[in-house]
Amino acid sequence: MYKFGPHLIKQTCVFWESRLSFAFVNLRPVIPGHVLISPKRVEPSFTQLQPDEASDLFQGARVLGEILKHHHSTDSMTVVIQDGPLAGQSVPHVHLHLLPRQPGDFPNNDDIYGEIERVDKRRGRDRTLGEMEREAGILKELVKDR
Separation between Cα atoms, residue 95 and residue 26, nearest integer Å: 11
Separation between Cα atoms, residue 108 and residue 105, nearest integer Å: 9
Q: Any catalytic annotation for residue 95?
A: yes
Q: Are 13 and 138 in contact (CB under 8 A)?
A: no
Q: Are 105 and 70 in contact (CB under 8 A)?
A: no
Active-site pick, 7, 34, 93, 95: 95
> Active-site positions?
95
